[in-house]
Amino acid sequence: MKKLGYALLPYLFGLIILAAWELGVRFGGVPEYILPGPLAVVNALWANIGDLLDGLAVTLQVTIIALVLAALTGAGFAFLLAQSKLTERMLFPYAVILQVTPIVTVAPFVIIWVDNIFGVLLILAWMAAVFPIISNTLFGLKSVDINLRDMFRLYGATKVQTTLCLLAPSTLPHFLSGLRIAGGLSLIGTVVAEMVAGTSGERSGLASRLLEASYRLELAKALACFVLLGLTGLAIYSALDWLSRRLLRDWHESAVNAGFSDNEN
Amino acid sequence: MQPSTGQVNRAFAAKPGDVGFVFQDATLMPWAKVIDNVCLPLEISGSNAESARAKAMSALERVGLAEFADTYPRQLSGGMRMRVSIARAIVTNPRLLLMDEPFAALDEFTRFKLNNDLLQLWQANRWTVMFVTHSVREAVFLSERIVVMTQRPGRIAADIRVNLPAHRDAALRLGHVFADESARITLALEQAMATGDQAA
């Protein structure tokens, strides 16, 4: 019973905040175009559910494709960087520049150069997501056990064998850790790109609908978009976290010991 | 690395697998099951998976870990990991086994046990083993020939034949013959240290 209460604690806290919000709005006389209460948001969500899910589908599509592209290119780029000190010295600064440049500032150029709006969103989301994958994978490639490396060399392993049987599995935990960060960033990148690119019409994503609703002072609908985007971010993180545990559960401490922290309480 | 002087003569043309290695740490791949760790040298040399598995299984049997084939290294104790490492070194049926302080990190009991096992393995297979150790008792118990080296620079200070029967077992450690041989080697080692100090 005590354990159940403990598990429900965060939800209880959330519920109290929501109740306070609803009551405050209702009895404080706040107009709905300034701040709608949570019930109004739920109503707006329900009333527009088909429309919003269409938007979510577009946003999710861009986010996932950008994430997959970031995973492939990021891991490949990291592998290229790890080939020698020279390539790393030559190329890594450009990866950093890619990371520290706010995508909002790049967006106008991408919009001019690429006339397909889906392509624009994809490029901007990819830009946001790729760096943590490069950085973490590179770190993993550099942390490969030196003794194991020696052993592979002593037994005359080819470069391909060393890559597949040593570098890839040894780097996997770091890559996955980068992927988990990149999942959230890919969504953020997509949202920012949608807002800057100002897509509208039928094939517009959830973020552009949020913007549109806020322009029209339909704040309940805008907040409904916001809630959906938040839940999407949570779902992406959970999915990647699950994937990571699934792939590492046999041998990596991070996944093997994951069950203990709950039992200790 | 370029040698400053000297040469290495081998009685055989070495291909990978003719020489087995055991390092100070077990150096196992944590993501691979015990059996896959032992298979690795065969896999690298491109032998077929099924025969590699059979050979690995037999190597694991020889170090007494057959029933742990499907576990991961993290589930094993230090001594067991070392056995896996030895199984991996002998799976290619090497002609020369290079062991660099393989049991240094283990407790005395485990060390004795692994010494006994290694001796048995050697008696069955008769590879040439080059074994680096800091333990005089381990050296005396295992060796036919002991080369004592000085500290920096590492020079050969003594080359001693061990006067013990070729066939040995754990009981040998308890007898006075073993104690006498240990004393003799200890003395040689102390002399080597002394000359090393003078040189420095």
Structure-token match 């998976």, residue found: B49
pLDDT band at A247 (very low <50, low <70, confident <90, very high): very high
Domain membership flag for residue B54: yes
- Asked if residue B159 lies in contact with residue B145, where contact means CB atoms within 8 angstroms, the answer is yes
- Residue B155 and residue B98: Cα distance in Å, rounded? 19
How far apart, in whole angstroms, are the C-alpha atoms of residue A103 and residue A196?
Answer: 10
Q: A250 and B40 in contact by Cβ < 8 A?
A: no
pLDDT tops 50 at residue A262 = no
Q: Is the pLDDT of residue B200 over 50?
A: no
State residue A146's pLDDT score.
92
Is B7 part of any domain?
no
pLDDT of residue B179 exceeding 60, the answer is: yes
pLDDT at B194 over 60: yes
User: Which of A154, A159, A248 would best serve as a mutation to test chain B binding (most B beta carbons within 10 A)?
Assistant: A154
Residue of higher predicted confidence among A196 and A178? A178
Mean pLDDT of the residues in chain A: 89
Count Cβ neighbours within 10 Å for each residue of B157-186 and write b for 16 or more, e otherwise.
bbebebebeeebeeebbeeeebeebbebbe
pLDDT band at A4 (very low <50, low <70, confident <90, very high): confident
Give the dihedral sign, CA A106/A108/A111/A117. positive
Does a structural domain hold residue B11? Answer: no
The model's pLDDT over B12-31, given as tens digits with 9 standing for 90+, comes to 767 777 889 899 889 999 99
Q: Are residues B65 and B113 in the same domain?
A: yes
Task: Considering only residues A183 and B127, tell me which one the structure prediction assigns the higher pLDDT.
Answer: A183
Q: Return d(Cα B13, Cα B10) in angstroms, integer.
A: 7
Domain shared by B126 and B139, yes or no: no
Comparing A224-233, A247-256, B42-51, the range with the smallest average pLDDT is A247-256
Q: Is residue B6 part of a domain?
A: no
- Smallest CA–CA distance, residue A169 to chain B, in Å, is 7
Strand pairing partners for B145? Answer: B161
Query: pLDDT class for B111, splitting at 50, 70, 90?
Result: confident
Residue B105 has a pLDDT of 82
Which of B16, B31, B32 is opposite residue A155, by nearest beta carbon? B16
pLDDT at A170: 95
Instruction: Give A-chain residues touching B23 at CB under 8 angstroms.
Output: 147, 150-151
Q: How many domains does chain B have?
A: 2
pLDDT reported for residue A138? 94
Q: How far is A254 from chain B (nearest CA, A)?
A: 13
What is the interface size between A and B, counted as CB pairs within 8 Å?
Answer: 51
In this prediction the pTM is: 0.85
Q: What is the pLDDT of residue A139?
A: 94
Cα separation, B6 vs B88, whole angstroms: 31
Q: Measured between CB atoms, does B72 come within 8 Å of chain A?
A: yes
My answer on whether B25 and B70 are in the same domain is yes
**In this predicted complex, what is the ipTM?**
0.83
Q: Indicate if B20 and B88 belong to the same structural domain.
A: yes
Average the pLDDT over A75-90 and give the result.
Answer: 90
**A227 has a pLDDT exceeding 90:** yes
Residue-range definition of the domain harbouring residue B187: 134-200
Give me the mean pLDDT over the A176-205 stretch: 87
In whole angstroms, what is the distance from residue B98 CA to residue B132 CA? 8
Measure the CA–CA gap between A232 and A187, rounded to whole angstroms: 8
Check CB contact under 8 Å for B40 and A147: no
Does a structural domain hold residue B66?
A: yes
* Per-residue pLDDT reduced to its tens digit, B116-137: 888 888 888 888 999 999 888 8
**Which H/E stretch holds residue B19?**
strand B19-22
Tell me, what CATH number does B114's domain have? 3.40.50.300
Query: What are the residues whose beta carbons fall under 8 Å from the beta carbon of B38, sequence distance 6 or more?
Result: B56, B59, B60, B84, B87, B88, B91
Q: Do B44 and A147 touch (CB under 8 A)?
A: no
* H or E element at residue A108: helix A103-113
Q: Domain A37-138+173-249 is in which class?
A: mainly alpha
In this prediction, residue A98 has a pLDDT band, given cuts at 50, 70 and 90, of: confident
* Whether B192 and B105 share a structural domain: no
Residue B1 has what pLDDT? 66
Comparing A75 with B47, the larger pLDDT belongs to A75
Query: What single letter denotes the amino acid at residue A41?
Result: V
Query: Does residue B25 sit at the A interface (CB-CB below 8 Å)?
Result: yes
User: Do A211 and A195 contact (CB within 8 A), yes or no?
Assistant: yes
Q: Identify whether the C-beta of residue B32 lies closer than 8 Å to the C-beta of residue B108.
A: no
A152 contact residues in B (CB cutoff 8 A): 44
Of all residues in chain A, the percent with pLDDT exceeding 90 is 63
How high is the pLDDT of residue B85?
Answer: 95
